[in-house]
Structures are given as structure tokens and as C-alpha cells.
Structure 1
Amino acid sequence: MPHFHIEYSANLEEVFDMGALCEAIRAEAARIDTFPMPGIRVRATRVDHYAIADGDPKHGFIDLSIRLRAGRPHAVKEVAVEQIFDALKAFVAPVMKSRSIALSAEMRDIDPDLAPKHGTIRDHLKASA
């Protein structure tokens, strides 16, 4: 049940394809054993109201929040968040050469006792997946 939530400043929509960023994060997460592929969810939310650093409206941000069911060793989570953050940095690197952008990420555990879930995605996955 890894959930990836990207919040980004609205001024970045003109320079990034956020759907492509979601797919880049999904693809990288699917390569990491600690993230079960059927549970991967990536979404992006544009933030219209924000203030950054000195207030210059040219500044932008992308914040990646990763939530996953508790139980993985800390060292495994460290490697996973680093790998996902590296994919984010690689995606935005060409634009960061000419644009002021702050990147951040955070991984948090979901308490399974307080997070019921239900779905049919596994029932509908292709047999080869």
C-alpha cells in the first residue's frame, strides 16, 4: 500500500508534465521490492496559494510524501526513499538548471490497525504482472 502524493506549486505546470512525473515515480517504485506493485498509487496536487523564501513568484516547489504500511526495517525504508528521491531529482534536473525549485520528500508509516483497505485491483491485474 505505498501511496505517493506529489504537491507542487502551480507555477511548475508550465514547465513539467505532472502526469509524466507521476508515471516516473510509479515506474521507479515498481522496481523496488519493498513497494508491492498492486498497491502503488501516485497522485499529484497543484497548490495555487504558496509563498517561498523571499516571496519571488518564480520560486517553485515539489514535495513528495510517501506513506506505506508499517513493518519494514528502517534501513530498507532509507534505501527506498533515496531511490525514489533520486528519480524525482533526475526528472526535474533539466529544469532546475534554469529555474528556482525546492524539492523535498518524506516517508511515513501507516498504522495497519487504523487504516482499513479494500479493493479489486489485484483481481484485475494482467496475469503477467
Structure 2
Amino acid sequence: MPHVFLEYTSNLTDFEPDNALLRINHVLVASGQFAAEFDIKSRATRVETFRVGTGLTVRGFVHVKLALLSGRSPQVKAQLSESLLAGLQELGNWPSSVEVQLSVEVVDLDRESYRKALL
């Protein structure tokens, strides 16, 4: 289980989403909260149309949403978001011509209504 949703802006031309997803998955496994083989489902979406603020400065962003089954403590969720943010920062190769914002959010999925089937 968790689901990872990565969004990144199209002006980050050197951003490698597959490398980012692999890094994110490794960070999550290292947390001890998830198994490596089947637990983590991650995907990336390139955002073509976006706006950051109202100014004319060239800006972009990378945002990670981590959706977890409910029940983890606020401390565990904070540790996961801090680790994910550090992992994003380590990706490097951020363009000097773009002001880049990195962000992470952790959201709870209702444990009682979540369903999964393995085929």
C-alpha cells in the first residue's frame, strides 16, 4: 500500500521522473513502513499548464502526494514527508533559470473502505 502521486512542471526539462519515482520508493522502503516488492504504487504526471504565484518569475514545482491507509501516527507521517522531501532535494540537476518549489503531502485513505485485489 501506499500510493504515490508525483506531479512536476514541464519547464523542468532535465527532471527524470522514473529516477524520482525509484528514489521515492527507496526512501519509503528505508522507512521500515512498507515492503519493497508489492506495497508501493507510484506514478508521475508531467504538468503542461500551470502557474506558480502571480509574478513573471519563471517558476516550477515538484509535488509528491503520499496516500496511506489511515492509522499511522502524526510523527510517522511527518518523518515520511521529511524523508521524501530530502530525497527530492538529492535528485539535483535543478535548473538555475527556474525557481523550483518542492513539496510533499501525506493524506490518509479510509482503512475501512479501501479495497485491493491481487490478480
TM-score between the two structures when normalised by the length of structure 2 = 0.87
Q: Provide the identity percentage.
A: 28
For residue 30 of structure 1, report the CA deviation from its aligned partner.
1.3
Worse-matched range after superposition: 94-103 or 36-45: 94-103
CA distance in 2, matches of 1:28, 1:97: 26
| Structure-to-structure mapping, 1:42-61, within 5 angstroms | 42-56=42-56, 58-61=58-61
Cα gap change, 1:57/1:117 in structure 2, threshold over 3 Å: closer, same or farther?
Answer: farther
Separation (CA, whole Å) in 1 of partners of 2:69 and 2:35? 11
**Is 1:36–2:35 an aligned residue pair?**
yes
Contact 1:7 1:44 in 2 (8 A): yes
- The number of residues matched between the two structures is 118
Specify every segment of 5 or more residues in structure 1 that has no aligned partner in the other structure, as ranges: 121-129
RMSD (CA atoms): 1.8
Tell me which residue corresponds to 1:109.
108
The amino acid that maps onto 2:21 is C
Give 1:123's aligned residue: none
Q: Is the Cα–Cα contact under 8 Å of residues 65 and 106 in structure 2 kept in the other structure?
A: yes
Q: Quick check: which one's helix share is greater?
A: 1
- SS of equivalent to 2:86: helix
**Structure 2, gaps ≥5 residues long:** none
Give the Å deviation of 1:97: 5.0
**Does the CA contact (< 8 Å) of 1:2 and 1:66 recur in 2?**
yes
> For residue 118 of structure 1, what is the aligned residue in structure 2?
117
- Quote the residue 1:88 is aligned against: 88
Whole-Å separation in 2 of the counterparts to 1:49 and 1:97: 21
Q: Which residue of 1 aligns with 2:98?
A: 99
Rg comparison, structure with higher value: 1
